[in-house]
Structure 1
Amino acid sequence: MEPYYWDEQIEYLKTSTSLFYNDDYIEFLVERLWRIDRPVRVVDFGCGYGHLGIRLLPLLPEGSEYVGIDAGIKLIEHARKICSELPYRMQFFTGDVHHFDFTEKYDLAVCHALLLHMNDPIAVLNRMADCVKKEGRVIAFEPHWIGTNASFHFDGLDQSAVIPLGQLQALFERDAQRTGKDGNIGLKLPLYFNRIGLSDVQCRVSDKVNIYDPSTTGETRMYEGLRFNDPGERISFTEKLLARGMSEEEANRQYECEKMLSERFTPSMAATYAAGMKITFGTV
């Protein structure tokens, strides 16, 4: 059995998720939009290390409960470890969200950056809705990759020189057609929520803008979250893109862009980044 990819990405997940949300914006959603004024039971599909529970529970009424489910054994072990000393009711289970046996109904079913990795996201959404009580909510925090890629600024670099948006958009579209996995799912979810029968569907956008400026603070953690890895050996990199439908010219351009960005974006270069995570919710 192959190792579960995300089990080996815990530190990356912890660094990257810190770039997505302002706590006061999540508080606004809980209090003003979702109007949660009594204890609720929350189930988190693909919970990872439990970061959504850690973010939500301090904002939910006292007595609220959280259940996290993930296929990653190491992720669940890490979640249990870091949450064991928190003053909240939290449980974690290893399991496949497609087949997990939900014996109870919840007030909220949530997921974060899960549906973009699913071959059949509608099936997962239906599972989420099925385990929620009547008048409960389904809430999905999902990205819109092309919007995310357009929301970087590197001081002194032309955006078009390092992030070729046109060919990336075409790549994402082909991937979705070929595999069902859709990195641009964030802006499609309001339609999907309507189509599975949820009511009062809305979609909001995270307001977090990250500022990395070495002339002031130059936070190491933020730089690590923004940093792009070296693409490695050219032939291996371009062969993977060719298999995903890029032309040889496009694949080589993508390699050059990522190579340049990995080399030019150093701790001495200022940058800004707005993830623009889409937060879609609807009522069962």
Structure 2
Amino acid sequence: MEQYYWDSQIEYLKRSVSLYYNDDYIEFLVKRVWKIDSPVHILDFGCGFGHLGLRLLPLLPEGSKYVGIDAGAKLIEHAKELFKDSPYDTEFLLGDFNTVKIEQKYDIAVCHGVLLHMTDPMFMLNKMIDCVKKEGKVIAFEPHWIGSNASFHFEGIEQSTAIPLGQLQKLFEHDVKSTGKDGNIGLKLPLYFNRLGLHDVQCRVSDKVNILDPAVNRETASKLYEAMQFSNPGNREAFINSLIERGMLPEEAIRQYETEKYLSENFTSSMAATYAAVMKITFGTVR
């Protein structure tokens, strides 16, 4: 049986989620924006190792319940282990949320970094809406990749040398047309939520700006570097061919290979940098 991809990416997922939000911002959303002041029953679509539960449960009223569903057996196993001694009411289900039947009994349906991987994100959004009771909320934390790519600063490196935004945007747009998967979906969700009949639709942006400065704090910078570092693109010919298949011109694919190789070699733990993920947090009410 083919391994579920995200089962092999647990450590990467744990590192990357640290880049998005400050704890006080999540508390602000829960208490001041969503105004959750009584116990809620939450279903997390594509919960991974339960990181949203780890963030939300300490802030929710006592008596709240968090249910996570994911297709990754190792992810679900890891989530159960993380929560086994916690005081919170949690349940983790192994399954494909695209096919499993889900009752309309939840106060909140939520997902984080999931819709961008869906070939038919509207199908999943409808499923999220259908499982929420009247006056409940649907909440999606999703990226706008081109905005995220524009939000790096590397000291001593011109951004245009490291991240060619124009050709990346072209690539992302071609991916949507050919596969349906949309790394820029975060900024489109407010319109999708409106058109699916959700009410009081709003969208916020994640607040955290990561400051990597080894000259000031080497230990903090080292941990942040682990979360931010860029992987080597690997075999040159294979990488370039894969980009051409995704719609890049040969010269664009060559440039993209060279920039990714350059970043993987030159972005080191001794370099100062800043990064803001600018995740889009869209929410609406079921009526």
- Normalising by structure 1, we get a TM-score of 0.99
Q: Quote the residue 2:228 is aligned against.
A: 226
Alignment of 1:52-67 (within 5 A): 52-67=52-67
Q: Quote the residue 1:26 is aligned against.
A: 26
Deviation at 1:103? 3.1
Alignment of 1:59-208 (within 5 A): 59-208=59-208
Specify the code of the residue in structure 2 equivalent to 1:12. Answer: Y
- The separation in 1 between residues aligned to 2:86 and 2:165, in whole angstroms, is 42
- The separation in 1 between residues aligned to 2:138 and 2:12, in whole angstroms, is 26
| Contact 2:199–2:285 (Cα < 8 Å) also in 1 | yes
1:137-160 alpha-carbon deviations (Å, 9 max, x no partner): 000000000000000000100000
Secondary structure of 1:38's aligned partner: coil
Deviation at 1:61? 0.4
- Normalising by structure 2, we get a TM-score of 0.98
Query: Could you say what the CA RMSD is over the residues aligned between the two structures, in angstroms?
Result: 0.7
- The separation in 2 between residues aligned to 1:178 and 1:2, in whole angstroms, is 24
Q: Quote the residue 1:248 is aligned against.
A: 250
Secondary structure of 1:14's aligned partner: helix
Deviation at 1:104? 4.8
- The separation in 2 between residues aligned to 1:261 and 1:43, in whole angstroms, is 38
Secondary structure of 1:48's aligned partner: coil
Secondary structure of 1:18's aligned partner: helix
1:18-43 alpha-carbon deviations (Å, 9 max, x no partner): 10111111111111111100000000
- The separation in 1 between residues aligned to 2:195 and 2:84, in whole angstroms, is 39
Q: Quote the residue 2:260 is aligned against.
A: 258
Q: Does 1:8 align with 2:8?
A: yes
- The separation in 1 between residues aligned to 2:153 and 2:175, in whole angstroms, is 26
Deviation at 1:221? 1.9
| Contact 2:104–2:133 (Cα < 8 Å) also in 1 | no
Secondary structure of 2:263's aligned partner: helix
Specify the code of the residue in structure 2 equivalent to 1:231. Answer: P
- The separation in 2 between residues aligned to 1:53 and 1:146, in whole angstroms, is 28
Secondary structure of 1:148's aligned partner: helix
Gaps of 5+ in 2: none
1:226-273 alpha-carbon deviations (Å, 9 max, x no partner): 100111111011010010011110000001100110111111100100
| Contact 2:69–2:94 (Cα < 8 Å) also in 1 | yes
- The separation in 2 between residues aligned to 1:130 and 1:14, in whole angstroms, is 30
| Contact 2:104–2:130 (Cα < 8 Å) also in 1 | no
| TM-aligned CA distance change 1:33 to 1:88, over 3 Å | same
- The separation in 1 between residues aligned to 2:189 and 2:124, in whole angstroms, is 12
Secondary structure of 1:44's aligned partner: strand
Deviation at 1:101? 2.0
Secondary structure of 1:202's aligned partner: strand
Gaps of 5+ in 1: none
1:166-210 alpha-carbon deviations (Å, 9 max, x no partner): 000000000011111000000000000011110000000011000
Q: Quote the residue 2:217 is aligned against.
A: 217
Specify the code of the residue in structure 2 equivalent to 1:24. Answer: D
Secondary structure of 2:110's aligned partner: strand
Specify the code of the residue in structure 2 equivalent to 1:190. Answer: P
Q: Pick from 259, 275, 278: which aligns with 1:276?
A: 278
Specify the code of the residue in structure 1 equivalent to 2:274. Answer: T
Deviation at 1:85? 1.2
- The separation in 2 between residues aligned to 1:224 and 1:32, in whole angstroms, is 33
- The separation in 2 between residues aligned to 1:131 and 1:9, in whole angstroms, is 28
| Contact 2:43–2:68 (Cα < 8 Å) also in 1 | yes
Secondary structure of 2:19's aligned partner: coil
